[in-house]
Amino acid sequence: MKEQLSGAVAQAVQALFGIQTDVVLTRPDPQFGDYATNVALQLSKQVGKNPREIAETLAKSDELMHVLSDNVKAVSVAGPGFINLTLTDQALAGMLDTRPEQPLAGKTVLVEYSDPNPFKPLHAGHLYTTLVGDTIARLVEDAGAKTVRLNYGGDVGLHVGKSMWAILKALGGEHPTELEKIPEADRPSWLGARYVEGNNAYEDDEQAHAEIVAVNKRVYELHSSGDTESPFAQLYFTTRQWSYDYFAQLYAQLAVVPFDRFIRESEVTPLGLQTIQEHPEIFIESDGATVFKGEDHGLHTRVFINSAGLPTYETKEVGLSLTKWQDYHFDESIIITANEQDQYMQVVLAAIKQFAPELAERTKHLTHGMVKLTGGTKMSSRKGNIVTALEILEAARQAGADSGFNPSEATILAAVKYAFAKNRMGGDIIYDPRESIQLEGNSGPYLQYAHARARSILEKAGKTAGEITDLTDDERRLVQKLSAYTETVELAAAELMPHHVCTYLYELAQEFNRFYEKNRVIGDEREALRLSLVKRYDDTLTAGLILLGITAPIKM
């Protein structure tokens, strides 16, 4: 409908002024109509008239009413020259049956997110990327794409060297059987503590620094040699699996759509190294290392192979990108990371563009800010003061208990998922457990309660029927809001911004509450029509919550 109306206004502009233009329609305050356009303001210079005069000419013209007559019952002018369109009740109600367009139909889109590194706990930042990434993948899938969910983790690299060094110290040497003494429930925290010890030693102890470098090389040699039997290899592969088991447990608890593939750094590193070495015209030697001169592309220089001959994250990222391209030949690859990876990824993509331009051009990098608890505390796994993903969930659980509300696990997830998704992606996220779990206000539990309330009305009535026509003002305002769902989802998918869905659902719930407070449903002479509106509201809430990965409960 929106495209049809904008085309009709553009047709009238062409007929009246001989000008071809794109007409953008927006949603005004409901009292002014269903759609508005500022096309008259845009035409002012070309036509040589006051925008208000142009708008009034358009609004009164037979040309405009001729092309709008089937769907529009009123055209008015407001302010300096805005044209407002009010749809017929039939046209407005008809919009409730439209589904979001699928511009990605037939395309393959990769969405890479979460990306925790084994040997380190999955912290709040990873939790954010996991949950918001899950929603973005749902939006892409809803837009028609064949969506491939990928999870990339660093099972080789300096962080592994630090952890393995500390593991050897804690066990008194290469004694893999000693690992059996560590209770399964304690393994994630035990590994996290070893990483902190290794990182501190690497930064503060010169001898430990050298030992960690040597251990790091041994880890790479495990993969190049295929060694899985030596005591050192058993230590490495056993503790690495501990991390993967922990991640799997958490993903199941978070109720996210399962990943299609987990890609390890060790898997893609050889291809990255080979590619760097095959392009000496792009990756040049500098002080014993191999670098990419980012300054030549308005960026900065980064090392791809260090002076010890080991690949850096940049080389592994090249291998990952090429692996994705070879295995999926994607139409688009979306990568979601923290903001601190922005410049790093710019350099990596600029380097890839030199030898695989199509791959680089089809890759989109989305970033988000730091996750902080109320009070602004930044979390750092290096310093050991991190807040884990499980602790975030426990904080929501405890906040619910403290308020006298004993939330279900589904409601705890709704609280955290919505708290993360409702903020526009890009800035820092301040997570407040008490605010997130409230049944009132802009929260996930509030939307769950709103859905349960609608279901209660429908179950009490036991029937839904009635054509949506001849609307009262209150009914019309609710239908106006319901009709905006399709456009909201299309916008969220186009911009890859879940917060649009959150804002819409909250405003929709508020609009329904206003309607229900003023208008009787069951037992009213307009019961059939109003029950149809409640059913539409229930269906819309359900669809929106599903996109956010939140369950829509029947009762709370």
198-223 per-residue burial string, b: 16 or more CB within 10 A, e: under 16: bbbbbeeeeebeebbeebbebbbebb
Instruction: From first to last of the 556 residues of the chain, give the pLDDT tens digit.
Output: 888 888 889 988 998 899 999 999 999 998 899 999 999 999 998 989 999 999 999 988 887 877 677 788 889 999 999 999 999 999 999 999 888 889 999 999 999 999 999 998 788 889 999 999 999 999 999 999 999 999 999 999 999 999 999 999 999 999 999 999 999 999 988 998 999 999 999 999 999 999 999 999 999 999 999 999 999 999 999 999 999 999 999 999 999 999 999 999 999 999 999 999 999 999 999 999 999 999 999 999 999 999 988 899 999 999 999 999 999 999 999 999 999 999 999 999 999 999 999 999 999 999 999 888 775 444 444 444 567 788 888 889 989 888 888 899 999 999 999 999 999 999 998 899 999 999 999 999 999 999 999 999 999 998 777 788 899 999 999 999 999 999 999 999 999 999 999 999 999 999 999 999 999 999 999 999 999 999 999 999 999 999 999 999 998 8
Nearest to 253 by CA among 261, 263, 245, 264: 245
What backbone phi and psi angles, to 5 degrees, belong to 359? -60, -50
User: What is the bridge-based pairing of β-strands 289-292 and 302-305?
Assistant: antiparallel
Nearest to 120 by CA among 424, 438, 388: 388
Residue 164 lies in a domain: yes
What backbone phi and psi angles, to 5 degrees, belong to 82? -80, 135
Residue 165 lies in a domain: yes
Pick the last residue of a domain from 37, 61, 87.
87
Residue 420 lies in a domain: no
Predicted confidence at residue 385, as pLDDT, reads 52
Residue 246 lies in a domain: no
Same domain, 71 and 166: no
Residue 450 lies in a domain: yes
Predicted confidence at residue 377, as pLDDT, reads 44
Decide: 374 and 180 in contact? Cβ < 8 Å.
no
Domain total in the chain:
3
Predicted confidence at residue 543, as pLDDT, reads 97
Pick the last residue of a domain from 44, 59, 87.
87
* Three-state DSSP string of 228-266: CCCHHHHHHHHHHHHHHHHHHHHHHHHCCCCCCEEEEHH
Residue 497 lies in a domain: yes
Residue 200 lies in a domain: yes
Residue 482 lies in a domain: yes
Same domain, 83 and 159: no
Predicted confidence at residue 1, as pLDDT, reads 80
Rg (CA), the chain: 28
Structure tokens at 50: 């006051």
Domain residues for the domain of 231 are 155-239
Decide: 322 and 340 in contact? Cβ < 8 Å.
no
Measured in whole angstroms, the distance separating CA 342 from the mean position of its chain's CA atoms is 16
Q: Which residues contact 435 (CB under 8 A, 6 or more apart)?
A: 419, 441, 443
Q: What is the CATH number of the domain that holds 537?
A: 1.10.730.10
How close are the terminal C-alpha atoms of the chain, in Å? 37
Report the alpha-carbon distance of residue 496 to residue 18 in Å, rounded: 37
Q: What is the CATH number of the domain that holds 76?
A: 3.30.1360.70
Nearest to 239 by CA among 199, 200, 186, 197: 186
Pick the last residue of a domain from 186, 216, 239.
239
Per-residue CA distances from 122 to 114, 158, 253, 265, 321 (Å): 9, 18, 13, 17, 23
Task: Please state the pTM of the whole predicted model.
Answer: 0.92
